[in-house]
Each structure stands twice: as structure tokens, then as C-alpha cells.
Amino acid sequence: MFRKLHLQMTIFCALITSLILTGFSCICLSISEQGAEQNSYIVFQNNISSMLSHLESQTTISHQWLLQMKASSNLDIFLYDNGQPLHFNTMEHASALDNVLEQAIQTARESHGLNLNADSSQTILTQHTEFSMKGSNGKDYYVSAALLPRSGGVLSAVFLHCLDVEHAAFFRQRMLFFSIDLAAILLLSVFSWFFTGRIIRPLRESRKRQMQFIASASHELRSPLTVILSSLSAMKIAKKEEAEAFSHVIQSEGERMSRLIGDMLTLAGADNGSWSIQPAPVELDTLLLQSYEKFETVAAQKGMQLRIELPDTALPPYVCDGERIAQVLSILLDNAMSYTPQGGHILLSLSKEGNRWMLRVQDNGPGIPQEARAQIFERFYRAEKSRKDKEHFGLGLCIAQEIVRLHRGRLYLDDTPGGGATFVVSLPANLTPGTYSQCIR
């Protein structure tokens, strides 16, 4: 499913970015070509103006000058003295241009009103016109037709500028844009593949965790259900005394299922953002004392020593959800008592380090192996030793971590000097009720 989604998102992203890139490239290319065409036409007009001024001022026309202008301006020049072609025309031009020349003369006469065959009596001032046309040979041309009065009659001139050079430049520019766009599209496709992969990765991991959560929850629920069903079947044929024992088993397993479902609903609320906290001023030392008193008797019954360390000076009220923080302490203390052997020591402490309050639950149990530390906050994770403990499902630390996160704090594991595990709750000391409104998802 995710592989198909990854491919579809890659194609979509690459297609959209490619269309945008191609569109901008076409716009830029069009603007560039229009500017180049305008510049080329202006240069052509300037060259024609310069040549006409020179022809008006000269009584004789230099063959060398004509060759120079032809080469420098890329022009085909045709001159007629009183309607008769000059010798330069036949020497320097191929007969293939004859049809194009006739087409230019006809276009100048019919479309621009300039008759190059007019007699000298009709020509008093210099007349000229410039235009573009597609020649009969399929090529594009800039054309200038001119009539220049002279003392001995009239000089007719036709200048043809073939646009093959400009078109070749346009073609090279288009190929360059095409190559750049093609390379950019390939790079964008590769980028889209990795980019969409990174976008999908959290979804894939979330899906994986969800499937693992469902599988673990199903496994945890199957065990008490199996016991309940077996006990119900046994009650049908059991004696009264035995039936009462089976009834206690069913009640115990039902309570166990209720705790598991409660924990699962708590985590579901954290996942969908429906959790809320009620911040209010709380005395942290009082909060720790209440947790200590709650677990002191339990620790004594298990043969453990529970101690508490608090600052000697009076503490200012701290804005937090007291019930939620007490829940975190209960989870950590219950977890410590589950792993600490009989005769062990558990320490509950509070201190201020810099601008943070540090709440610690420290035990001298077996500790947590280094390779397992990355997993202890995962759902349904339990050390192998506690797999048989029906009171724990591996959800407590996940719940505690979510509560601490809502308080913009951190819950992490540290080593206990001499062996054991220390869970540290680090809370910012400067939170206000207004700050919490930004914390809740």
C-alpha cells in the first residue's frame, strides 16, 4: 500500500513541478526570442539607414564598400540604376534569390505602396520601407526597398537579410532550455522520490506501530478471556466451593481486562489529541509526600525500603496538573517496585537544577540493559522478567511520557550509582496557565 502511494505521490509531485518548470521556461524563452527579434530588426533598420545615407551622399558606388556592407551586415544587396541592374547584382548573388527578389519588389509595391520601377519624374525625395516576409524558398527575410533620386535619374535598392542565423541561434537556445529542463525534471523526480519517501515514513512507522499495538492488545486481551471462558465452563460442573474459587478468578481477570482497556483508552486519547490538563498552582513537595505515603505501606509489605528527599527550603507553588503528575509518580514508583528485589531501596526525590524541577524515582534493582533502553517507552514493551506479572501491560511508561510531554517536560532514564535504574522527570520551572494553552494539541 505505501509503496504504491509513494510511487503515486512521486509521479504527482514530479509532474506538477515539471509542468510549472516547463511553463516558466516557455515564458522565459518566448520573452527572450521576442527581445532578440526586436533587437535584430532594430539593427537591420540601423544598417539600412546608414547605407541609404551613404548612397545618397555618394555620386559613385564603390564595389569594395558594397562587399564590405554585405559581409558585415549579412545582407544581399540589389541595385538598379534607372531600372537596369548593376553589374554587382550578377556577380555576387545566386540565381536562387531571383524569385525572392521579385517577391520582395511585388510586396513593396502592393502592400507598402513603393514602386521601385517608378521613373525619375515621380521621385523627388528618398523613399524607403522595411518589412518582413517569408520567401518563396521557405526562408524568412527582413526586406528594405528604397528609391533614391539622383542627378541622372533614380537609384532603386533592395536589401534582403535572411534570418537563418537568428533562427539557428533560437534553435540552439531552445535545445539548451530543453536540455536544462530535462535535467531539472530528472533531478526533480529523484528529489520527489526521496521527499515523498520522507513524508510517508512517519505514516509507515505509525501504521507499523498501530499494527503492533493491535497485535499486542489482542494478545493481552486473549489471555484473560481464555481464563474467563475456561472458568465459566468449569463452573458448570464444579462443586459449590470450587465454583466460588472460579468466580474469584473470573472477577480478577475481568478487573485485569478493565485496567488494560483503561490504559488503551488513555493512550488513544493522547494519540487523537483529546487529552486535557487542568493547570493550577501545586506544591511539588506536598505532591511527592502524598505519593510517598501512598506507596510506603506497599513497599514495606514487599520488604523494600522507600525513602524521600525534599529541599530544606520552602518551595513556591508550581503550575501544573497535580493529578496528572501524581499519576506519573505512581507509574514510576509502581514500576520500580516491580523490578526491585526484596530488601532493595527506592528513593523518591525532588530538586531544582537551573530553571528546571527534577523529580527522580531511583531504585537499586537489576537496571535496564543498554540494548533495551530504546524500547522501554514503547507500548506493550516489558522486560522478559515481568512477562508473567499480570498487573503490568507495558503501557505505564508510555502514559507517563505523554503526561510529561503535555507539561513540556522530559522523561528519561538514567543509571543509579552502584546499579539500578533512575527515571527522571524534568519540568520547566517557568510555566504559566497561559503557556499550557499552547501545549495541548
To which residue does cell 555620386 refer?
A: 59
| Residue in 229, 264, 263, 220 with CA at minimum distance from that of residue 249 | 229
Structural domain containing residue 310: 280-439
d(CA 210, CA 160): 77
d(CA 63, CA 357): 100
In a domain? residue 265: no
In a domain? residue 164: yes
Q: What CATH number is given to the structural domain containing 342?
A: 3.30.565.10
Q: What is the largest CA-CA distance in the chain?
A: 145
In a domain? residue 308: yes
In a domain? residue 272: no
Answer for the pair 411, 331: CB distance below 8 angstroms, yes or no. Answer: no
pLDDT band at 67 (very low <50, low <70, confident <90, very high): confident
Q: Show which of 169, 199, 222 is a domain's final residue.
A: 169
Query: At 141, which helix (H) or strand (E)?
Result: strand 140-150
- Beta strand 127-134 with 84-85: parallel, antiparallel or unpaired? unpaired
In a domain? residue 202: no
Q: Residue 291 in 3-state DSSP?
A: helix
Q: Show which of 147, 169, 191 is a domain's final residue.
A: 169
Axis crossing angle, helix 284-301 with helix 322-339, rounded to the nearest 10: 30
In a domain? residue 182: no
In a domain? residue 139: yes
pLDDT at 87: 61
Q: Show which of 146, 169, 192 is a domain's final residue.
A: 169
The C-alpha cell that represents 130 in the structure block = 522595411
Q: Give the number of other Cβ atoms within 10 Å of residue 135's Cβ.
A: 19
Q: What is the pLDDT of residues 335-394, one digit of tens each?
A: 888 888 888 999 999 998 888 999 999 998 887 777 777 777 776 666 554 444 545 556
Q: Residue 356 in 3-state DSSP?
A: strand
Task: Read off the amino acid at residue 160.
Answer: L
Same domain, 149 and 286: no
pLDDT beyond 60 at 428: yes
In a domain? residue 73: yes
Q: What is the pLDDT of residues 298-343, one digit of tens each?
A: 888 889 999 999 988 888 889 998 888 988 898 899 888 888 888 8
Taking 3-state DSSP, the helix, strand and coil percentages for the chain, each rounded to the nearest 5, stand at: 60, 20, 25
Same domain, 18 and 154: yes
Answer for the pair 246, 238: CB distance below 8 angstroms, yes or no. Answer: yes
The C-alpha cell that represents 198 in the structure block = 520522507
pLDDT at 104: 93
Judged by phi (left if over 0) then psi (alpha if -120 to 50, else beta), residue 380 lies in left
Give me the helices (H) in 274-395, please. 284-301, 322-339
User: What average pLDDT is seen over the chain?
Assistant: 83
Domain count, the chain: 2
- Say how many Å lie between the first and final Cα of the chain, rounded: 29
